[in-house]
Amino acid sequence: MQQNIYQGEIWAQSQCLENESAANQSIYQLLQSLEFQTTTDPRRWQRGDQTVIVCLVDDIRSCSTDYDIDLPYLFDSNTTVITDNYITCPTQYQVVRLPTSFLGIYHYIPSQQTWSPKRDYAFAVNRIDQRRFMLMLEVGLRAHLHLGYVNFNCRHHTEEIDHNTAMKHWANHWEHVGPEDKEKYQKSYELLTVRIPIRNYDIEHDDIFLKSYLTMVVETYNSDNNISLSEKIFRALVTPAPWTVSSGRYTVAYLNSIGFDTVSDLIDHNHYDQLVEVQDKRRIFVWKGLQAIKNFRSQNLSTLQERYRRAAEHNQGLLANMARAWPSDFVAWQNKLKQTLAS
């Protein structure tokens, strides 16, 4: 099973969890000063008929228990949502985004900087949900497991995982697969079931990114109209090695827009980044990754290493600048937020 994920370099060096918690606490204190009261959900605050929801890093949909309503109508017009999410559709509630420099909480420089691929791909998923389950089935259908560094833990949240628990979660998610997909993925499901939970390597988790021709990053959340980022994509951005990302629609376009080098000259991220879920996105995502691996194997490794080294250094520098700007940006943003909520 996957070990020491939350003790990896990005957690230890960036202190992103601690910085996220500090931002939350500071916002909570501001809300208290404005006489908002906490509720049973610590992210939801109330003052009369006004509601404030504070949702950092997580997708704002996680703050609602209505799983059928579309994102624009998720909360009423008396609600203000404070988040770092980038929402790509109009909403009937007010959205107050944190400064982009908030992403500086993920700044770190990996100790290893040499891309030296030994296997085709890396695909590592700690927690299971239906989307990640279906992606694992797609990988099992399209790719040979022994050619990649594959880790699929079947964990729910932070629970300890053992074989029986993993098998239970795995089987439960299969029950939610429709009949057409069951027919398509039956062989993949059977192939993977005997290996659950999967971990076919002994090296450290941080090492698999530099030892793969491509890392298929699986972000925590995926949405057609919301971009929610975590440490997963920033680990890829600062590591001098190729990656693709399964995440919200236009995630790569958003990263480009705020200055990150996504090496789009070597990987056509747009091929999958523009798709909504009903457009067979997971199949195209995996297929595009396998095509990229084939392409990289035919190119000069030294040339690729230099291009990804430049990209990683640029992204490391951008996150460093964001980290330096964040404290003053946050103070100015809080002052503006206070005025907004006081009115």
| Chain centre to alpha carbon of residue 241 | 17
Q: What is the pLDDT along the chain (343 residues), one digit of tens a residue?
A: 444 456 689 999 999 999 999 999 999 999 999 999 999 999 999 999 999 999 999 999 999 989 889 999 999 999 999 999 999 999 999 999 999 999 999 999 999 999 999 999 999 999 999 999 999 999 999 999 999 999 999 988 767 778 999 999 999 999 999 999 999 999 999 999 999 999 999 999 999 999 999 999 999 999 999 999 999 999 999 999 999 999 999 999 999 999 999 999 999 999 999 999 999 999 999 999 999 999 999 999 999 999 999 999 999 999 999 999 999 999 999 999 999 999 7
pLDDT of residue 256: 98
CA distance linking residue 1 with residue 21, whole number of Å: 28
Are 59 and 85 contacting, i.e. CB atoms less than 8 angstroms apart?
A: yes
pLDDT of residue 1: 42
> CA nearest 260: which of 103, 117, 122?
103
CATH 3.40.50 fits 119-313, yes or no: yes
Report the b/e string of 125-160 with b at 16+ CB within 10 A: bbbbeebbbbbbbbbbbebebeebbbbbbbbeeeee
CA distance linking residue 31 with residue 47, whole number of Å: 9
> CA nearest 136: which of 121, 115, 116?
121
CA distances from 285 to 204, 215, 258, 291, 299 (A): 26, 12, 23, 10, 21
Strands 86-87 and 226-227: antiparallel
> CA nearest 233: which of 199, 262, 265?
262
Sequence-ordered list of residues with C-beta below 8 angstroms from that of 166, at least 6 positions apart, any chain: 153, 154, 155, 196, 197
Could you tell me the pTM of the whole model? 0.96
pLDDT of residue 7: 67
The segment(s) of the chain belonging to CATH 3.40.50 are 119-313
